[in-house]
Amino acid sequence: MGYTMLMINKALKKLPLIDRLLLGLIIILLPLGFFIKNRAKIKQETQASTLVFTQWWQDELKNDTLTSIINEFEQSNPGITVKLEQLSYQEMEDQLLKGVPGTIRHSDILALDPRWLYELIRQDLLQPLNTYIENTENMENMAFIPGLPSSYKLPGSAEVWTLPVVSFMAPLFYNAEVLQAAGFDRPPKNRADFLRYARTITNSSAGRFGMALALSPAYPDGLYVDVYSWIWAAGGAMLQGGHPNFTSPAILGTLEFLNTLYKEGLLSPESFLKTREQKLEEFAQGKIGMMLASVQDIDTLQHMMGDTGFGITTIPGVDTTSKPVFGLTSWYTGISRHSAHQDQAWAFIAFLMERSSLITLTSHAVPGNWNRVRNLNGDLYAKAYDMYEGGDAMQEFTGIPRVHSLETIVRNELYGMFTQDQDATTTAQAIQKQWEETLP
């Protein structure tokens, strides 16, 4: 060491005075720069981070589920705080897809409907998750939901943008007392059965009808549950290779079936104004005998009607030999591209996925998630899961552009079919034409 310093001193003495002064200044400043750099790094590592998680789920969960998960996460991750931002589904959709001013652009973690994904990716609002997934040890052990993509990619793209937390199927609900009073000791097994039941149950003077549709624009899943589910149960699909397929025989038959229900007065009035809550109320009061609804509604109806006041079954297809098909609605989550704390946001999402069995339980979901435990919510939930396992699942509009516009077209044309002299074929052709003009 002493010899090395001696040689350095000799070399320095040979340099001009100005060079020796500059070199000395550099030698003095280097340790200071190193200190400042490391001080900044330490400050960055220890500085508290606040994540904003914007969602509509909280009101649909029990027992402060999200607050409990957040508290557990914060205890396991000192220095990270999660702020829960509650918006309605409609407020989230408006801010994300329609550019309505709001707080959502300052979020780190977003609750998402998979029907929004194409537009969110097109607007560059989501951060890809590939790197995070690849570096998370237990991700490969998550089987997720059978029949549902474990993550979402655009066709032809390798980017993963979002993960599903929980999903819900929509079976047929029947009011046991109404059916028994009409002389039926079992639910309908096919469409012919269903029409016969609806005709027998309906007594408009008594304010009782075979079924209700809730197609108010204020109910975001109205078309998905009350119309599309009948198409899927008939073996139909509205898109084929990403292109409109609305004039297929299965869809034409479904439109004729729904038109018959309306024209014969078998549907409770004001289908296009009715909300989910109004439909449930009519069902619980015995004003309608049957309806399609989410498994989430089992818990609500149990509180209103008791455990034996109603039952659930598969959606009647054209015949009894077809495999049951159920549409799925889902809650997904992703990281905002604008987040300044994306690593911490992923840490919370991974933690949320690990706790998604709790969300499944408290949201009353079937099939729920990758860690679904059966029989926790009672016999009807176990029956729903058995029906799901014996059938197929559909989530047809994930990754499709302009889904909201497509739904508006269907709602408007259905209104024309029901209230004007427009047959099912004309309705299907009108929807097909407008969908072709709307989709790229």
Q: What residues make up the domain containing 282?
A: 172-313+402-438
Provide the CATH number for the domain around residue 218. 3.40.190.10
Tell whether 5 is covered by a domain: no
Cβ proximity of 328 and 167 under 8 Å: yes
121 lies in the same domain as 63: yes
181 lies in the same domain as 300: yes
What's the confidence (pLDDT) of residue 34? 34
pLDDT above 90 for 337: yes
Residues 98-122 have pLDDT tens digits of 877 777 878 999 999 999 988 998 8
Percent of the chain scored above 90 by pLDDT?
A: 64
pLDDT above 70 for 435: yes
Nearest to 259 by CA among 418, 149, 390: 418
Nearest to 260 by CA among 324, 203, 199: 199
What's the confidence (pLDDT) of residue 109? 97
Tell whether 81 is covered by a domain: yes
The structural domain count of the chain equals: 2
Residues 155-202 have pLDDT tens digits of 556 678 888 899 999 999 999 999 999 999 999 999 999 999 999 999
214 lies in the same domain as 304: yes
309 lies in the same domain as 431: yes
pLDDT above 90 for 348: yes
Instruction: Select from 368, 389, 410 the last residue of a domain.
Output: 389
What's the confidence (pLDDT) of residue 154? 57
192 lies in the same domain as 159: no
Residue 437 and residue 440: Cα distance in Å, rounded? 8
Label residue 430 by pLDDT band (50, 70, 90). very high
pLDDT above 60 for 30: no
Nearest to 247 by CA among 433, 398, 439: 433
Tell whether 153 is covered by a domain: yes
154 lies in the same domain as 190: no
Hey, what's the torsion of the CAs at 210, 215, 219, 224, to 10 degrees? 90
Tell whether 20 is covered by a domain: no
Label residue 41 by pLDDT band (50, 70, 90). very low
What's the confidence (pLDDT) of residue 286? 97
Q: Which long-range contacts (CB under 8 A, 24 or more apart) does 4-8 make?
A: none
What's the confidence (pLDDT) of residue 8? 38
Mean pLDDT of 50-68: 93
What's the confidence (pLDDT) of residue 377? 52
219 lies in the same domain as 343: no
What's the confidence (pLDDT) of residue 152? 56
What's the confidence (pLDDT) of residue 160? 81
Instruction: Return mean pLDDT, the chain.
Output: 85
pLDDT above 50 for 253: yes
Nearest to 361 by CA among 114, 157, 63, 108: 63
What's the confidence (pLDDT) of residue 47? 58
What's the confidence (pLDDT) of residue 379? 83
What's the confidence (pLDDT) of residue 187? 97
What is the 3-class SS of the chain, one letter each residue? CHHHHHHHHHHHHCCCHHHHHHHHHHHHHHHHHHHHHHHHHHHHHHCCEEEEEEECCHHHCCCCHHHHHHHHHHHHCCCEEEEEEECCHHHHHHHHHCCCCCCHHHCCEEEECHHHHHHHHHCCCECCCHHHHHCCCCHHHCCCCCCCCCCCCCCCCCCCCCEEEEEEECCEEEEHHHHHHCCCCCCCCEHHHHHHHHHHHCEHHHCEEEECCCCCCCCCCHHHHHHHHHHHHCCCCCEECCEECCCCHHHHHHHHHHHHHHHCCCECCCCCCCCHHHHHHHHHCCCEEEEECCCCHHHHHHHHHCCCCEEEECCCECCCCCCCEEEEEEEEEEEECCCCCHHHHHHHHHHHHHCHHHHHHHHCCCEECCCCCCCCCCHHHHHHHHHHHCCEEECCCCCCCCHHHHHHHHHHHHHHHHHCCCCHHHHHHHHHHHHHHHCC
Tell whether 87 is covered by a domain: yes
Tell whether 36 is covered by a domain: no
299 lies in the same domain as 181: yes
Label residue 221 by pLDDT band (50, 70, 90). very high
What's the confidence (pLDDT) of residue 141? 47
What's the confidence (pLDDT) of residue 378? 59
pLDDT above 60 for 19: no
* Bigger pLDDT: 75 vs 1: 75
Nearest to 276 by CA among 215, 198, 210, 224: 215
Nearest to 116 by CA among 325, 403, 372, 362: 403
Tell whether 83 is covered by a domain: yes
281 lies in the same domain as 303: yes
Residues 76-93 have pLDDT tens digits of 999 999 999 999 999 999
Residue 388 and residue 323: Cα distance in Å, rounded? 11
Label residue 37 by pLDDT band (50, 70, 90). very low
Label residue 39 by pLDDT band (50, 70, 90). very low
What's the confidence (pLDDT) of residue 146? 42
87 lies in the same domain as 126: yes
pTM (predicted TM-score): 0.85
Residues 255-289 have pLDDT tens digits of 999 999 999 999 999 999 999 999 999 999 999 99
Cβ proximity of 34 and 65 under 8 Å: no
280 lies in the same domain as 176: yes
137 lies in the same domain as 157: yes
Tell whether 53 is covered by a domain: yes
Hey, what's the torsion of the CAs at 374, 375, 379, 380, to 10 degrees? -40
What's the confidence (pLDDT) of residue 372? 54
Mean pLDDT of 36-47: 37
Residues 349-391 have pLDDT tens digits of 999 988 888 898 899 998 887 555 554 555 899 899 889 989 9
